[in-house]
Structure 1
């Protein structure tokens, strides 16, 4: 009986094959063969799309799960996203070609608006997908911390897509545990490499999806922004208008004489208080106060140091091996930190007795510091036990002289990041010095775009290029250097030639070290400090992907505004989407400083309110820019 059934099936198969064979047309034969054998094609069908009438064993409803691999549901989400994007990619490319070939300016702009609308829909879908993935990551990190952070440093709130501060705090805490366990494993003689914690943490554990950072919410008035100006000539171009706005914004951000006097008086008070509290120390201002890059919300930074302490010199020591040398170095660092904390404790006590200071606390971080708030001005002050910054200060001075647009564009970029929670390194952002050098490397890389035969870029050209440069640079693959200007591939191992050359070239040796991707965080920016080659200015910027996505959208929106033929009819500022109504944000800080500083202003001929006067080459907008909130 079974043989008869098999023979019948064989005859039926031969009959179907004979019907499918066309000796005169090979392609038709192949197509007919495929149609007659559809059952032999195996498709991967997700469970939720399967025929409900067909019974499937439970083990077929899920793929085997490997540690560190995406869950089956995540795989379906990723696969669906990829298929959806591929299906729309060709259509969008064809439409983009049509837009590029359109010669009529108005028609081209309308077509571009249609294209931007299509891109916006895609971005909204991508944002929803990113939120889903980030929520899943947040859950993993929460579970990881509950398992490995003993005791739990702080309670972990429920995932909030808008709370990126907590999001990056969790990444920092998880990474701290991973680094600690890596050090333990190496101490115990476990083989080195990124896989030493494979059982504890997948190498992909700290990857995340980037999101656009909107402006912080801040209600404004009906008056136009102080920088909302138009050129006087009626035939002005959009670029001339944008140049003027950026220039007026930078002027408005400059300190007034009263603000300068207030900061100078407060600095003088601290410089007298520190050595009086700790007689074995000296004090000096550092940071934006000495570089000329002070903003209305900048802290007052004072460096405390030991001018008369003679530390043991490494050259005078003898070490049996590298381990003994490293142990001695660690001991010296620990002893110095303990001494500086003792000095700072005395400074803390004196500040607590002073009637003008409040909210005083000491932080025993890598560089210990005392923080306080000056009550009359509400300015924040910091007394920090940090290393000298002479080389950094000289580098800043040199670049400010070399690049005339650097200072105003730094002020604009700093404000842009500040209003989006991207300027605090503790929460994954970028500090002032790192951002300054990011502006430097972009401006030094900018190609010349002569306007009206002038051999230099306008300030708006340079600003747009900074946005474009940092929105496109692949931080996961390349390292950036300023001296010399350039980039090189990130890699784990240097070549023999590079190793040999690095023995006599400290900058190259440092560059090879910085070029190694950071385990678990390969996306970090690697930017070599020109003043200190071993210093990586991007090492704390975990939010680099958020920054790049934000700058990418700002660049696209600005280009759209600058190409809009009807944009001049809109009374709002071109910078509205970049800095919004930040004048309200800064005025709350500036007014008490300005009022307190008036009593210390030295009357001199030619001193006036810097940054507040109106220029002669522009007209003030009578209306616009007061639509309620930053968004």
Structure 2
């Protein structure tokens, strides 16, 4: 076979190399000559590639030096620094698809010339068209997919625990498995608590900056963020929203604010959002004697639910007023009813609140309503208005004049209280409903004289619900104490007042399903209490509005349908419901609960701490269920209500001093 070393097939590809070897002469001389030729060819190509690479590097270096010389100005240091910053911003590395360069990243022209794009295949055209349609690329959702897989894995693990518990017949084994599940949930909550504290701290800084920019002069100094000081936290929210509401009113007057009432350029719609935290129980020190309500049923085979029923009943009985307390309150109320008309002759006075409804607790205030019985205010029906703006202006003027008159009356009451030797810490507050606050020294009871509207309709509603729901009064007292010991009962600091909390208990109890096993017309008191905790810990306040008359809920929405608008023209309750169903701008999380006694009144408008309340009730419900399912809980001498009300007897004992007036 002739030697084929000089054939054109000789090249450095592996296929041609083996093909040539198979047809080459096998003599040593020919083989040595072949190897020399191949090494020379390989060396030449390697040298050629190295030279091309060095040429590219040199060209890139020269281009960078040229750009650097353009950026340096020896006469202007600031321009040089700005040029360097621009160069640094341009050199940021972005993660981009391989088939296309990021236009924000600078790319030399010679590299664009060297990288000639290949004609796309039909498959690549299909893939690119799929991406153009909006589908995410793999690297865009890889992290999100990992997080979803982790959460799904945790949920699957908890589901396996629940399924195993359901199949376990041994109560002790089932309880141990539930404890493991609760431990897993606790770890997740602790991990989320750190993120919650960080987010709330960032929100606090934003609100502080907002107040420094728009509240001039500052109403009060803003302290540093303290995760435990929730009163200051919600005070800041109230101050920020007051400024926003004022600007919204101005914008509406000018006709430039429409839709969801968002102030563009001033405040983001997410400005007042926050994350709820668990409110701890107030720490009370005292003797180690058992709680007055810590009692066990007399029968030996009592169940946990019977034990819990007895504790709630004993707690409600212990919270009832003693005869000496009733006498002291009656005497103090009589003193105030005589003092107010004497201080302001043109006014009348009457008790209202818990003193009239029978829901008085040892720490309840003495509430007195002041009003003008002989003042004839101009009626709206007798007025003629050109348009709605004129009508609204007249209404605002009447409210302002009435508030001015009532503040003048309350100032006279304040002067008389200051002269009375039994009252101290007297102050007047010009809030939406002006009031005078004081402390009665002999009884240490708080007194409030409020210029508010008549409460006859709400008093009748409370009386009706107390007759309808037998467990309502003791459960309201228990819930009121629970919130009071955690700083959630003061509306001024985002909490819920007595009337709002009462109606929250009503709507939960009226929604509670009856136990199918029992033939009683009512659930046990412990069942109702657990359902109240469960209902309010799970209700989505950002999406739904609640009504009691009729009982139900509806979606929150900005705009009503045409059918609803037509029906609301003849139905005042529906018209008020549509108005309350509109989410509050900047605070969409607020509870919307329609007052059955006054349909236009929203009982949740001041409860900014609703997220704190729901998180606290969720924890209480889970802990109580754990105690009630623990087979060994009877061996523990502590009360089941220990985690709910703690040792509040030490708090109320100071108010149970017999007083002889």
Q: TM-score, normalised by structure 2?
A: 0.78
Indicate the SS of the match to 1:229: coil
Indicate the SS of the match to 1:192: coil
CA displacement at 1:420 relative to structure 2: 0.3
Deviations 1:296-321 (A, max 9, x none): 00000000001111111111111111
Shift in alpha-carbon separation, 1:152–1:19, aligned structure 2, 3 A? closer
2: distance between equivalents of 1:417 and 1:65? 54
From 193, 196, 207, the counterpart of 1:141: 207
CA displacement at 1:105 relative to structure 2: 1.5
1: distance between equivalents of 2:101 and 2:590? 42
CA displacement at 1:217 relative to structure 2: 1.4
From 55, 76, 83, the counterpart of 1:32: 83
Deviations 1:266-321 (A, max 9, x none): 00000000000111110000000000000100000000001111111111111111
Aligned ranges 1:174-189 → 2 under 5 Å: 174-189=240-255
Shift in alpha-carbon separation, 1:569–1:35, aligned structure 2, 3 A? farther
User: Is the 2:161–2:178 contact (alpha carbons within 8 Å) kept by the matching residues of 1?
Assistant: no
From 460, 467, 474, the counterpart of 1:408: 474
User: Is the 1:301–1:381 contact (alpha carbons within 8 Å) kept by the matching residues of 2?
Assistant: yes
Deviations 1:601-625 (A, max 9, x none): xxxxxxxxxxxxxxxxxxxxxxxxx
Deviations 1:396-452 (A, max 9, x none): 000000000000000000000000000000111000000000000000000001565
Deviations 1:461-517 (A, max 9, x none): 000000000011110110000000000011111111100000000000000000001
2: distance between equivalents of 1:274 and 1:400? 31
1: distance between equivalents of 2:312 and 2:153? 41
Shift in alpha-carbon separation, 1:36–1:469, aligned structure 2, 3 A? farther
Shift in alpha-carbon separation, 1:7–1:331, aligned structure 2, 3 A? closer
Deviations 1:217-243 (A, max 9, x none): 111321000000001011111000000
Shift in alpha-carbon separation, 1:526–1:80, aligned structure 2, 3 A? farther
Deviations 1:353-404 (A, max 9, x none): 0000001111111111111000001100000000000000000000000000
Shift in alpha-carbon separation, 1:113–1:513, aligned structure 2, 3 A? same
CA displacement at 1:9 relative to structure 2: 21
The two structures, once aligned, show a CA RMSD in angstroms of 10.9
Shift in alpha-carbon separation, 1:42–1:51, aligned structure 2, 3 A? closer
Q: Would you say 1:196 and 2:269 are equivalent positions? A: no
Shift in alpha-carbon separation, 1:55–1:227, aligned structure 2, 3 A? farther
Indicate the SS of the match to 1:450: coil
CA displacement at 1:11 relative to structure 2: 31
User: Is the 1:213–1:546 contact (alpha carbons within 8 Å) kept by the matching residues of 2?
Assistant: yes
CA displacement at 1:98 relative to structure 2: 1.9
Shift in alpha-carbon separation, 1:75–1:317, aligned structure 2, 3 A? farther
Shift in alpha-carbon separation, 1:7–1:170, aligned structure 2, 3 A? closer
User: Is the 1:376–1:592 contact (alpha carbons within 8 Å) kept by the matching residues of 2?
Assistant: no
CA displacement at 1:18 relative to structure 2: 48
Indicate the SS of the match to 2:438: strand
CA displacement at 1:101 relative to structure 2: 2.3
Equivalenced residues, count: 593
User: Is the 1:68–1:204 contact (alpha carbons within 8 Å) kept by the matching residues of 2?
Assistant: no
User: Is the 1:527–1:538 contact (alpha carbons within 8 Å) kept by the matching residues of 2?
Assistant: yes
- Give the structure, 1 or 2, with the largest relative contact order (CA under 8 Å, sep 6 or more): 1
Shift in alpha-carbon separation, 1:504–1:278, aligned structure 2, 3 A? same
User: Is the 1:442–1:469 contact (alpha carbons within 8 Å) kept by the matching residues of 2?
Assistant: yes
CA displacement at 1:454 relative to structure 2: 2.5
Larger Rg: 2
2: distance between equivalents of 1:519 and 1:48? 45
CA displacement at 1:184 relative to structure 2: 1.2
User: Is the 2:325–2:658 contact (alpha carbons within 8 Å) kept by the matching residues of 1?
Assistant: no
User: Is the 1:213–1:550 contact (alpha carbons within 8 Å) kept by the matching residues of 2?
Assistant: yes
Shift in alpha-carbon separation, 1:375–1:38, aligned structure 2, 3 A? closer
Shift in alpha-carbon separation, 1:41–1:88, aligned structure 2, 3 A? farther
Shift in alpha-carbon separation, 1:451–1:410, aligned structure 2, 3 A? farther
Shift in alpha-carbon separation, 1:45–1:451, aligned structure 2, 3 A? farther
Unaligned runs of 5+ in 1: 596-631
Shift in alpha-carbon separation, 1:246–1:127, aligned structure 2, 3 A? same
2: distance between equivalents of 1:130 and 1:71? 31
User: Is the 2:305–2:628 contact (alpha carbons within 8 Å) kept by the matching residues of 1?
Assistant: yes
Q: 1:353: which partner in 2?
A: 419
CA displacement at 1:112 relative to structure 2: 0.3
Shift in alpha-carbon separation, 1:403–1:276, aligned structure 2, 3 A? same
Aligned ranges 1:247-396 → 2 under 5 Å: 247-396=313-462
Indicate the SS of the match to 2:130: coil
Shift in alpha-carbon separation, 1:271–1:429, aligned structure 2, 3 A? same
Shift in alpha-carbon separation, 1:56–1:324, aligned structure 2, 3 A? same
User: Is the 1:238–1:562 contact (alpha carbons within 8 Å) kept by the matching residues of 2?
Assistant: yes
2: distance between equivalents of 1:391 and 1:427? 27
2: distance between equivalents of 1:71 and 1:592? 76
Deviations 1:501-557 (A, max 9, x none): 000000000000000011111111000000000000000000001100100110010
Q: 1:627: which partner in 2?
A: none
1: distance between equivalents of 2:244 and 2:362? 39
Aligned ranges 1:481-630 → 2 under 5 Å: 481-591=547-657, 593=659
Indicate the SS of the match to 2:446: strand
2: distance between equivalents of 1:521 and 1:59? 56
Shift in alpha-carbon separation, 1:27–1:590, aligned structure 2, 3 A? closer
User: Is the 1:68–1:202 contact (alpha carbons within 8 Å) kept by the matching residues of 2?
Assistant: no
2: distance between equivalents of 1:124 and 1:297? 35
The runs of at least 4 consecutive aligned structure 1 residues that moved more than 3 Å come to 3-87, 450-453, 592-595
User: Is the 1:190–1:196 contact (alpha carbons within 8 Å) kept by the matching residues of 2?
Assistant: no
Shift in alpha-carbon separation, 1:9–1:555, aligned structure 2, 3 A? same
2: distance between equivalents of 1:323 and 1:22? 63
Indicate the SS of the match to 1:397: helix
From 280, 285, 291, the counterpart of 1:219: 285
CA displacement at 1:216 relative to structure 2: 1.0
Shift in alpha-carbon separation, 1:43–1:306, aligned structure 2, 3 A? same
Shift in alpha-carbon separation, 1:462–1:594, aligned structure 2, 3 A? farther
Q: 1:466: which partner in 2?
A: 532
Shift in alpha-carbon separation, 1:476–1:199, aligned structure 2, 3 A? same
Deviations 1:79-98 (A, max 9, x none): 99777544422222222222
Shift in alpha-carbon separation, 1:21–1:322, aligned structure 2, 3 A? closer
Q: TM-score, normalised by structure 1?
A: 0.82
User: Is the 1:378–1:592 contact (alpha carbons within 8 Å) kept by the matching residues of 2?
Assistant: no
From 443, 448, 466, the counterpart of 2:509: 443
Shift in alpha-carbon separation, 1:561–1:314, aligned structure 2, 3 A? same
Shift in alpha-carbon separation, 1:566–1:24, aligned structure 2, 3 A? farther
User: Is the 1:450–1:456 contact (alpha carbons within 8 Å) kept by the matching residues of 2?
Assistant: no
